[in-house]
Amino acid sequence: MLDLSTLNPPQRAAAEHTEGPLLVLAGAGSGKTRVITYRIGHLLLDKKVKAEDILAVTFTNKAAGEMKERVRELVGRGKAKGMVISTFHSLGVRILRRDIERLGYKKNFSIYTTSDQIGLIRQAMREVNADGKKFDAETLLWRISGWKNGLIPPDRAVPRYDDPDELLACDVYPRYQALLHACNAIDFDDIIMLTVRLLQDYPEVLDHWQERFRYIMVDEYQDTNASQYLFISLLARKYRNLCVVGDDDQSIYGWRGADVGNILDFERDYPGCRVVKLEQNYRSTGTILEAANQVIKNNAKRKEKRLWTDVGEGRPIDMVIAQDDEEEATLVVERLQMERYQHNLSFGDFAILYRTNSQSRAFEEQLRFEDIPYVLVGGMQFYERKEVKDALSYLKVIDNPLDEQALLRVVNFPRRGIGDGTVVKINQWSLEHECPLLEAMGRVEEIEGIPGATREKVLTFHRLITGAAGEFRRPGDLAARVKGFYDRIGLEEELYRTIEEPATARRKVENVEQIINSMAGYEERIPGATLSGFLEKVSLMDEDRFSGKDKKEHGKDAVTLMSLHSSKGLEFPFVFLVGFEEEILPHKKSVEEGMSIDEERRLCYVGITRARRHLTITRCLHRKKYGKLLERQPSRFLEEIPERLVQVHEGEVKKAATEEEQEAMAQDFFARMREKLS
Burial class (CB in 10 A: 0-12, 13-18, 19+), 182: middle
605: nearest Cα among 260, 348, 349, 347:
260
How are strands ordered across the β-sheet holding 374-376? 374-376, 559-563, 350-354, 572-577, 611-620, 317-322, 646-650
Please, what is the end-to-end C-alpha distance for the chain in angstroms?
55
Four-point Cα dihedral 55, 58, 59, 63, nearest 10: -120
Would you say 295 and 641 are in contact if contact means Cβ atoms under 8 Å apart?
yes
What are the DSSP E strand ranges found in 543-621? 559-563, 572-577, 611-620
**460 known ligand binder:** no
Four-point Cα dihedral 199, 204, 209, 213, nearest 10: 120
581: nearest Cα among 560, 551, 604, 562:
604
**27 known ligand binder:** yes
Q: How many CB atoms lie within 10 A of CB 486?
A: 19
**518 known ligand binder:** no
Q: Are strands 350-354 and 572-577 parallel, antiparallel or unpaired?
A: parallel
Instruction: State CA 573 to chain mean position distance.
Output: 24
Q: Which amino acid is at 669?
A: F
**28 known ligand binder:** yes
Q: What is the CA radius of gyration of the chain?
A: 28
The contacts of residue 284 (CB under 8 Å, 6+ apart) are: 28, 29, 292, 307, 309, 311, 314, 609, 611, 612
Rounded-to-integer distance, Cα 78 and Cα 76, Å: 6
Q: Which amino acid is at 347?
A: F
Would you say 217 and 57 are in contact if contact means Cβ atoms under 8 Å apart?
yes
Rounded-to-integer distance, Cα 321 and Cα 59, Å: 38
Q: Are strands 611-620 and 559-563 parallel, antiparallel or unpaired?
A: unpaired
How are strands ordered across the β-sheet holding 22-26? 84-87, 54-58, 215-218, 242-246, 22-26, 274-278
Burial class (CB in 10 A: 0-12, 13-18, 19+), 102: middle
- What's the DSSP call for residue 655? P
**32 known ligand binder:** yes
Q: Which amino acid is at 234?
A: L
H helix intervals, 54-213: 61-75, 77-80, 88-99, 114-127, 137-149, 164-182, 188-201, 203-212
250: nearest Cα among 30, 409, 50:
30
**33 known ligand binder:** yes
Distant-in-sequence contacts of 232-236, Cβ < 8 A, 24+ apart: 232/57, 233/269, 234/196, 234/199, 234/200, 234/206, 234/210, 235/55, 235/199, 235/209, 235/210, 236/21
Catalytic residues: 32-33, 219-220, 250, 610
Instruction: State CA 569 to chain mean position distance.
Output: 12
Instruction: State CA 190 to chain mean position distance.
Output: 17
Rounded-to-integer distance, Cα 35 and Cα 23, Å: 12
Question: Which residues belong to the annotated binding site for ATP?
Answer: 26-33
Question: Which residues belong to the annotated binding site?
Answer: 26-33
